[in-house]
Structure formats: structure tokens, C-alpha cells
Amino acid sequence: MALLLKEKDVASILNFKDSYRALREAFEKLGGKNAVNSKRVRTSFLGTTLTYQAGGIDNYVGFKTYIKGNFISMLFSSEGELLAIVESDRMGQIRTSALSVLASDVIKGNYSSVGIIGLGKQGLAQVECFFSIKGISPTVFTRSQERLSKSLEFLRSRGIGVNTSTSIKDLIKSSEVVVSITSAKDPFIKLDYINKPLHLNLMGSNIPERVEAYPEVIKASETIAVEDVEQALEEAGDLVLANKMNMLDVSKVIGFSSILVGKVKINKEGITIFKSTGIGLEDVAVLKVIYEKAVKMGLGKEVEVVGKWFPELGNK
């Protein structure tokens, strides 16, 4: 029997610290070739796109798929048994924000100030996560005053205080770590906004048509860490644009797992970038946590989903 886990189940099971630990373990195992990630696949038709990303860790394999803001994941045992079907919108928010904190910890190291650009669902999760794991109240920026007011009310209801900035430039200049998580199609992070060592998490773009940082920022960076080098060079709009303008040194693009396990040493004194596009291994690592905790807590609804016709006949 498989577990069907709804969004409310995921919200009650999964927390930021669990996700952080799961992601660290996943990238450690990826660096040691004890986990696997498959490059994302997109199928576009009639103006919509179905996206599929998969990975495997320990005795689990699985995938997440999404279309028009609907996120569904499936987790299997290595023997092929379907273990869980999981609604995965909140999972993605928690996973992505925990990844942002992990990247900041591994690449930047010590820091006490964080700026977050963008206050959609993902941006709010970033605020929650930095507050939960690091005890940091970030400085935030959004262009919409209405969204800012609603976001501040939401965060106050959870006991989270933030500072607000009236411009992206001021936010960057006052932060050691900056997270950009927007759906912008045109770059807005300029090199002249940066006048000190800075770590930048570019979390918003995973298609070539979306860009957050100008190519000059990419060119000036010491290191560009990514989850999957091949996927990032194809999908990360910031890198695609910089490459088209001959402003990307591909030798600076390094797998995050190599940095985490110590295979690659980086210079932290200049501009460092973590350019995330999201990978299936991250989802499977967090799905593992959700499934194992759901079993212990007795959450979810058991459903029989086999995927075989006449299973009593076996393989005959």
C-alpha cells in the first residue's frame, strides 16, 4: 500500500531543519557518487509545460512533476514498490529555502545579515527558513507595496520580524548574503551595487528566458556553484545570457557537491554565487524524510496503486 500525503500532511511533517540535514546528506552522497540525479525533462504543448525531475538516494528513487503550479511527487523503493504519492507545493518551498541556507553556510561560512529580494510564496519561505535555522531576521524588498504589507502581516503572525529596504541597491549594500527569488525576465542586480565581499543566491530562474543578475556580476564572480553543471549551463538564464555575451568563464561553474565535500576550495573574499535551478535529487532526499516521518506518525491515507494488470499471474 502506498501513502497518499496531502499538502496539510506535508506541512505538519516537514520542517526547515529536517530539510537542511537531508539536503546536506544528499549532496555529500552525490559528491561521493552514492546518490544520483537525472537532468530535468520538459514537455511543452499547447502553451503549457509539464516538467519532470528525478533522483535516487539510499534505497529510494523518485520524482517530482509539475504543471501550471500543481506539484506532485512519487517515491519508490529500490525494489520498485510505490511508497508515497505526495502533494509537493509546500515541500518545494521548504526544500528550496533550506537549500539557500545550506549554500550560504557552505560557500559564505560566517554571516549575520541576509537580504531577500522577492516576497512570493518562495520568498516568504526563505525568510522563515533563515529565521528558523540561523536566527536571522532578513532585510526584504518587493516592488509591490500591497504584497509587502500582506507579507509583513503573514510573518508577524508567525513571530518573525524583518527589516524592509526601499531599494535593491540599499538591500545589497547592507547584506553579507543576498537571496534573489523572483520571476524577473530582465536583470536587476548590478555590479555597481556590490562594494564588498558578497555571497549571492540566485534562486529565481530555471529557464533561459529569466534573468536576475547582469552579466557583469557573473563575470566578476570568483565562483559560481550549481547543483548540476550541465543543467545549469542549459537552463540558468543568468548563465545563458552571460555566456551569449562572452562574459561567462565556464571554469568558474562548479558542482555544489564538490565544494561541500571539500574537493574544491573557493575564494570567499570576492563575489560568490550559488545559482540554483532545482534538481530531482533534492526532492527525493526530502521525500524520504516526509515518507519516513509519515510512517512513524501514522499520517496519510493508504491507497492501493500497483501498476500491474493481473498481478496474481506474476511475470508469466
Residue 78 cell numbers, joined: 529500490
Can you give the residue range of the structural domain that contains 14?
A: 2-91+280-313
Q: Give the chain's domain count.
A: 2
* Same domain membership, residue 116 and residue 57: no
Pairing of strands 35-45, 271-275: unpaired
* Same domain membership, residue 84 and residue 134: no
* Same domain membership, residue 69 and residue 44: yes
* Same domain membership, residue 252 and residue 137: yes
* Same domain membership, residue 115 and residue 85: no
- The reported pTM is 0.95
Location of C-alpha cell 565556464: 250
- Bridge partners (DSSP) of residue 177 are 114, 199
Q: What is the pLDDT along the chain (316 residues), one digit of tens a residue?
A: 999 999 999 999 999 999 999 999 999 999 999 999 999 999 999 999 999 999 999 999 999 999 999 999 999 999 999 999 999 999 999 999 999 999 999 999 999 999 999 999 999 999 999 999 999 999 999 999 999 999 999 999 999 999 999 999 999 999 999 999 999 999 999 999 998 799 999 999 789 999 999 999 999 999 999 999 999 999 999 999 999 999 999 999 999 999 999 999 998 889 999 999 999 999 999 999 999 999 999 999 999 998 888 766 665 5
For residue 207, the domain's CATH number is 3.40.50.720
* Same domain membership, residue 76 and residue 116: no
* Same domain membership, residue 258 and residue 204: yes
* Same domain membership, residue 9 and residue 42: yes
Q: Are 205 and 189 in contact (CB under 8 A)?
A: no
* Same domain membership, residue 76 and residue 174: no
Q: Kindly state whether residue 145 falls inside one of the protein's structural domains.
A: yes
For residue 309, the domain's CATH number is 3.30.1780.10
Q: Kindly state whether residue 100 falls inside one of the protein's structural domains.
A: no
Q: Are 72 and 85 in contact (CB under 8 A)?
A: yes
Question: Helix H segments across the chain?
Answer: 7-13, 16-31, 89-103, 121-129, 145-157, 168-173, 215-220, 229-235, 237-244, 256-260, 280-297
* Same domain membership, residue 161 and residue 74: no
Q: Kindly state whether residue 156 falls inside one of the protein's structural domains.
A: yes
Q: Please give, one letter per residue, the 3-state secondary structure of 70-120.
A: EEEEEEEECCCCEEEEEECHHHHHHHHHHHHHHHHHHHHCCCCCEEEECCC
* Same domain membership, residue 181 and residue 213: yes
* Same domain membership, residue 208 and residue 128: yes
